[in-house]
Amino acid sequence: MPNLKTAAASINKLDELAGNNSVIHKLHPNVKLLVTFVYLVAVISFDRYAVGPLLPYMVYIAVMMALADIPYKLLFSRAVIALPFSLFAGISNIIFDRTGAFLFYGFTVTYGMISFVSIMLKTLLCVSAVLILIATTSMTEISYQLNRMKIPAILVIQLTMTFRYISVLLEEAGIMYTAYLLRSPNEKGIRMKDMGAFAGQLLIRSIDRAERIYFAMKCRGFNGVYHFSTAKKASAKDYAAAAIVVGVLVLMRVYNISLLLGAIV
């Protein structure tokens, strides 16, 4: 139960951070979306054995967090959650790709190990960049810009509703977990044999809650179209900031900054 409350609080905290007034928060949402998109494409486009060229991209994460005043613990605790999903893919590379790459103090480092580190680093960088976007831009602004980019409305609504009501799902899971412990006071958690029934009940309760939310939206005139108020226009400073950051990201992709710095040192 404490873990569920912590997860819900973290989601709400990111949404609260989007209302701050830092230099990054003042940038136009479209600029932040563009920069994040370029950053993700640049990171993902590296080959599976790239590790050194990815390291300079950590500077972007550090600078953005410092300028936006985002707590490091909050962001990285959320980013680490995504690592287990990449862990299994990375482990399979270690198992099947055993070709030696180089020796490190007598230990043979294989290409599988290098690709494992690369996958984990890419995951951490990409998730951190997206979390920074969420922590500096409200979901309403993100949805509005996606709508202006002609992203299908159903996808925009799905993204918005998922973000808004994930805390509701966690609340339902917390209520069920509390009820389970009250019926099994000697248990420290949910027994494995009860996990199927627990997950099934959570799904049923979620569908029921979703139907009630949908009917409430229909009663308020919802017709499948998400309406937004007119957002502010991007200024010259916004375009200049976007050009500088995108330019730096592209240069970091074209040139191996880590190798160049190593040669200079």
Give the C-alpha separation, 139 to 141, whole Å: 5
For residue 134, the tally of other CB atoms under 10 A from its CB is 19
Q: Provide the whole-model pTM.
A: 0.80
Query: Can you give the pLDDT at residue 4?
Result: 57
Conformation bin of residue 106: beta by default, left when phi > 0, alpha when psi is -120 to 50: left
Query: Can you give the pLDDT at residue 11?
Result: 63
Per-residue pLDDT of the chain (265 residues; tens, 9 = 90+): 445 556 656 666 777 788 788 888 888 888 999 999 999 999 999 988 888 888 899 999 999 999 988 888 888 888 887 788 788 777 877 787 777 777 777 777 788 888 888 898 999 999 999 999 988 988 888 888 888 888 888 888 888 888 777 777 877 888 888 888 888 777 777 788 878 888 888 888 888 888 888 888 888 887 766 666 656 778 888 889 999 999 999 998 888 877 777 777 6
Q: 16: which 2 tokens?
A: 């609260």
Helix (H) or strand (E) holding 109: strand 107-110
